[in-house]
């Protein structure tokens, strides 16, 4: 099974925190959102198209607000008009926290490939199943071809599917290799791959690993820690899609997607070690000063947004200094924010 070398030592101490009563209030608010979502599950069965998508997006945005998480989204015209019209795609991202999938669905609801254990989680499991989650039994890899065929069929029918190809969560200061298995589904389905780069920042703006869900930590412990964080910001960049046929096989396709995410994060992978850099002509995620423009009120939306990885050496990744944004003629970039 894929794994990550990240553990408790990756999570920094002394992060800005809210008071205990406020944290309890956040947890209560999040529980209320999940309960309301559970009661709304029958609506998910009835609703179709835009109405269903709006309801799902509302739920996930409410979860982010409950935990006090702000989200900034960057990308070249979001997911593009073709995807908004229902073209299937494989959406892949670096995996840091359980907040990742919440954030992606807060911008563009879509089913995901997830480990089979999630189906049995209280509340969350039922919600995930009702949202069309495809489950992978990581203890029975003989089922992998069938699962990939299910993914390919869903994407061929026009669905976007979210996958975390590292196969395990990493702390965020480093990341794992993108394993190729899920990329075969994109090849078989004849659909593009849309990489998503994620990064978390603390109240002062520095990159933080505080929300990482890693090691032997339980989901409850991780949720409690996130509820105590003050001023947490999730930055998301929707990278350019990788068109069908661009890669010769799934391994090359996985490498292209991984390189796209690393480039968006301003990182260069050297051998098995990843370092921070800003290549000439690239635009790091943090190159635009933060604003407070709500996503719902900003035109020209720039959007958001299983599988694997063997370990690589963790090295600190310093935040990239702010610098003027470079704009390509056909790639307008705008920061959007959920408050």
Selected residue with higher pLDDT from 195 and 38: 195
Residue 321's pLDDT band (boundaries 50, 70, 90)?
very low
Measured distance CA(36)–CA(170) in Å, rounded:
31
Supply the pTM of this predicted model. 0.77
- Quick: pLDDT tens for 211-257: 999 888 898 999 999 999 999 999 999 999 999 999 999 999 999 99
Quick one: pLDDT at residue 271?
Answer: 44
pLDDT at position 269 is 58
Residue whose tokens read 């069938």: 146
Kindly report the number of other CB atoms within 10 A of residue 84's CB atom. Answer: 13
Query: Mean pLDDT over all residues of the chain?
Result: 78
Q: Please state which of the ranges 69-73, 175-179, 292-296, 316-320 shows the lowest mean pLDDT.
A: 292-296
Kindly list the distances between the CA atom of residue 305 and the CA atoms of 105, 160, 215, 239, 256, in Å, as whole numbers in the listed order.
7, 11, 25, 10, 18
Query: What domains appear along the chain, each with residue ranges and CATH number?
Result: 8-285 (3.40.1130)
Distance of alpha carbon 178 from alpha carbon 255, whole angstroms: 7
Residues forming a β-bridge with 238: 75, 196
What percent of the chain lies above the pLDDT cut of 90?
Answer: 47
Q: What is the pLDDT of residue 336?
A: 53
A 10 A CB-CB count for 157 gives 10
Q: Which residues contact 81 (CB under 8 A, 6 or more apart)?
A: none
Considering only CA atoms, which of 101, 97, 88, 108 is closest in space to residue 151?
A: 88
Burial of residue 217 (CB within 10 Å: 0-12, 13-18, 19+) is middle
Task: Look at 328 and 145; give whichever has higher pLDDT.
Answer: 145
Q: Where are the beta strands (DSSP E) in 125-232?
A: 134-136, 160-163, 193-201
């Amino acid at each position: 099974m894929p794994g990550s070398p990240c553990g408790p030592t990756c999570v920094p101490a002394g992060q800005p925190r809210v008071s205990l009563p406020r944290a309890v209030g956040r947890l209560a608010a999040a529980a209320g959102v999940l309960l309301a979502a559970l009661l709304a599950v029958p609506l998910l069965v009835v609703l179709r198209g835009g109405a269903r998508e709006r309801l799902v997006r509302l739920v996930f945005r409410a979860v982010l607000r409950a935990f006090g998480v702000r989200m900034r989204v960057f990308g070249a015209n979001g997911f593009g008009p073709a995807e908004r019209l229902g073209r299937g795609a494989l959406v892949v991202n670096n995996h840091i926290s359980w907040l990742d999938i919440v954030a992606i669905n807060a911008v563009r609801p879509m089913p995901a490939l997830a480990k089979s254990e999630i189906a049995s989680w209280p509340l969350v499991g039922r919600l995930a199943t009702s949202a069309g989650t495809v489950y992978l039994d990581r203890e029975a890899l003989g089922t992998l071809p069938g699962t990939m065929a299910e993914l390919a069929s869903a994407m061929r029918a026009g669905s976007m599917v979210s996958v975390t190809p590292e196969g395990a969560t990493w702390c965020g200061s480093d990341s794992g290799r993108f394993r190729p298995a899920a990329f075969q589904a994109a090849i078989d389905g004849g659909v593009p791959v849309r990489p998503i780069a994620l990064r978390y920042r603390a109240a002062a703006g520095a990159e933080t690993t505080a929300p990482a869900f890693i090691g032997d930590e339980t989901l409850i412990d991780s949720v409690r820690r996130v509820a105590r964080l003050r001023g947490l910001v999730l930055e998301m960049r929707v990278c350019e899609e990788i068109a069908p046929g661009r890669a010769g096989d799934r391994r090359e396709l996985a490498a292209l997607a991984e390189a796209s995410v690393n480039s968006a994060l301003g990182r260069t992978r050297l051998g098995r070690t990843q370092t921070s850099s800003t290549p000439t002509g690239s635009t790091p995620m943090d190159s635009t000063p933060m604003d407070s423009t709500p996503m719902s009120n900003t035109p020209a939306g720039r959007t958001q947004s299983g599988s694997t990885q063997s370990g690589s050496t963790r090295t600190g990744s310093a935040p990239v200094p702010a610098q003027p944004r470079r704009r390509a003629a056909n790639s307008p970039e705008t920061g959007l924010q959920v408050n």
